[in-house]
Structure 1
């Protein structure tokens, strides 16, 4: 083990806790996108003091971007003393709403029992703090390193990343020759390397009918009943077929190694905003459903869509007056970085040294910002690795372990040593 790097990280334990706590205290809740700018300014001040050049990039025109809620991103870069590769640590700064059920203030960053509690502690401000500490420890030990180190804090990952990594990737911030290797410190356990994610297809399906008086429904045509027929067909045909598909991808948890579909929402007929009045006696002439289909690397996107369309078309042939429309909302293909690529190899070497064991290679059941780096930036040497337990994300009393952060930061620092200096520890 590189004892110098490990000790340099360990000496910064109190600083790591303080940095994580400071980041949690920015209530960067998305939606709507609160406190992005002050959080990015804090990160910039911290890294500028360590010799990084910093810049702010607003995701102008991205969903949710406004003068009240600007999609602010910060990118910091520290050049080495000689040419070489660039390693980029990317973390999202946004968090989901706190919700109910907390026993501590979600934005007070309570430290107790070897943990830091707060919204975003695990997902993923602990990872952001660990990457900063890793870089600072590396710079202390190897000030004359070749290449460059970048660290970013980006917007909107929780809502798709369009004002953050997607926007930046479109501007060339995640492409060669600027960047060669990317590590995303998402919380997937300190001894795991996440190589990618399943695919996702979101779509809205609308069934149509004809409005009529609720006392004479036979004069109309209920779009809700048509949607019910579709839901019944999904239950009888599609869901069993999806459950029979299994992937070679090491997706966690086990249940996500099969194809899945979630019914996100169903809306039809009278709205619920009629109080304190009464509902109108109408037959619903429209019903809308949003589906969230997660698919495997073995499945083609045209096949995924075709399974749904074939059911819709059959109902149109067999069910009187059945009519529908469908529109795509989001489409992301599955991706999986090879285990022997430079970034996962470097992280694996660090895990062997710090934990004395082989890493577990996993695939995320849901997508994260790696999709934009691969699809838009065309940069494929990218994985997720960071402290924290994924199951704690978005939960009440979310926390990240202090020792987990220290150990993960040590792995990250050793990965920098491998990727920038070529100092691979022995297997």
Structure 2
């Protein structure tokens, strides 16, 4: 039976490549959320032809949703001939902007030297295509299967996933009894199983000042200088403390096995809309800074926030006229699925069969849509597994290997069988 499954996938190699290229040709750039609807409709047509029932769900009212840029998601379901569990493959269809530095058209889906190139090839349209081929091959070899197989193409993962998986999870589409097992084909390498991710807290800090003439700054109070004191305190106090925090989570790469914080942006003083003229001479009365704090499963979110608030409060006590406001933008707790849960166990067995070696178990340094499946769907039998090299994501000349997609599709197809047939340990 395994050989028949392998052959069914290998026979679909050209189809897999063509499907990946076709998906890349939809410039589903986020922001603002372009081409979501035509891409979702393309996926629906493909899966409907194979007997899947398809459902479109727009993430109405979610960030960025509008009639011009609707947050269009598609969910396809294929019922088996008898009752049983549901295995769901979830892929995001949005991609980041192409950026500079490409040596080819980022939306052409070019095939060359055993690779498919284009924005989203690796992250994660190659994984979506592999999951579709895996499901279709499994159904062709096992037409009498019991249970159900679902495939979804969802939006906005690159900007938090609120119009995609979060919206669907809030409507019950990632919860029992509808769904039992979830595989997210993010590009974490074909022989690795990603059990979860670090936590994230985004916050905006604003320092306040008083506007005055730039020739007489002593009559005002510079919010930018106050923010400079914040940055200095971060360098002196916070960053060394973060470097000392280590985790037992198998985060990759190695440098992410500690707490980190990135200064995402700083905005102070006048806007730059004076170009091509000159700015007026003003002391800045406001400066805003966005922090991207990634934290470990050993840390408490209150502690994470408290470290920054303590620095700000300390400055307020010792720095004349210092005042600030802080606003939460997003918070997601760390998550890590047990490696002996049904999905990782099924995929581990498949990796052993396809590659003849034990899988690596890793944790992602950044979050992905597993966070919403866990926190809103309350479904914890979920991991990321898919083809592609994560380091290529968001970079110029992004690509996914054809052999990698074929081998990952084999792993996915074997995993489907193990989960539908109860070969993996039942969820508790």
- TM-score, length-scaled by structure 2: 0.98
**Whole-Å separation in 2 of the counterparts to 1:130 and 1:99:** 26
- The worse-fitting range, judged by mean Cα deviation, of 1-10 and 222-231 is 1-10
- The worse-fitting range, judged by mean Cα deviation, of 270-279 and 284-293 is 270-279
What is aligned with 1:413?
Answer: 413
What is aligned with 2:225?
Answer: 225
**Whole-Å separation in 1 of the counterparts to 2:324 and 2:277:** 31
What is aligned with 1:311?
Answer: 311
Contact 1:73/1:164, CA 8 A, preserved across alignment: yes
Contact 2:30/2:95, CA 8 A, preserved across alignment: yes
SS of structure 2 residue aligned to 1:346: helix
The 1:302–1:123 alpha-carbon spacing in structure 2 relative to 1, beyond 3 Å, is same
SS of structure 1 residue aligned to 2:267: strand
Q: CA deviation at 1:276?
A: 2.5
Contact 1:156/1:164, CA 8 A, preserved across alignment: yes
What is aligned with 1:6?
Answer: 6
SS of structure 2 residue aligned to 1:85: strand
Contact 1:85/1:419, CA 8 A, preserved across alignment: yes
Map 1:12-411 onto structure 2 (within 5 A): 12-411=12-411
Q: CA deviation at 1:213?
A: 1.1
Q: CA deviation at 1:424?
A: 6.2
Contact 2:106/2:119, CA 8 A, preserved across alignment: yes
SS of structure 2 residue aligned to 1:109: coil
**Whole-Å separation in 1 of the counterparts to 2:182 and 2:420:** 12
SS of structure 1 residue aligned to 2:144: coil
Contact 2:346/2:423, CA 8 A, preserved across alignment: no
Contact 2:80/2:148, CA 8 A, preserved across alignment: yes
SS of structure 2 residue aligned to 1:307: helix
Q: CA deviation at 1:143?
A: 0.7
Contact 1:417/1:424, CA 8 A, preserved across alignment: no
Give the count of matched residue pairs. 425
5+ residue gaps, structure 2, are: none
Q: CA deviation at 1:351?
A: 0.4
The 1:219–1:321 alpha-carbon spacing in structure 2 relative to 1, beyond 3 Å, is same
Structure 1 residues 25-47: Cα deviation after superposition (integer angstroms, max 9, x where no partner): 11111111111111111111111
Q: CA deviation at 1:423?
A: 4.5
Contact 2:343/2:424, CA 8 A, preserved across alignment: no
Runs of 4+ with deviation above 2 angstroms: 422-425
**Whole-Å separation in 2 of the counterparts to 1:164 and 1:206:** 30
Q: CA deviation at 1:270?
A: 2.0
The 1:400–1:297 alpha-carbon spacing in structure 2 relative to 1, beyond 3 Å, is same
Q: CA deviation at 1:323?
A: 0.5
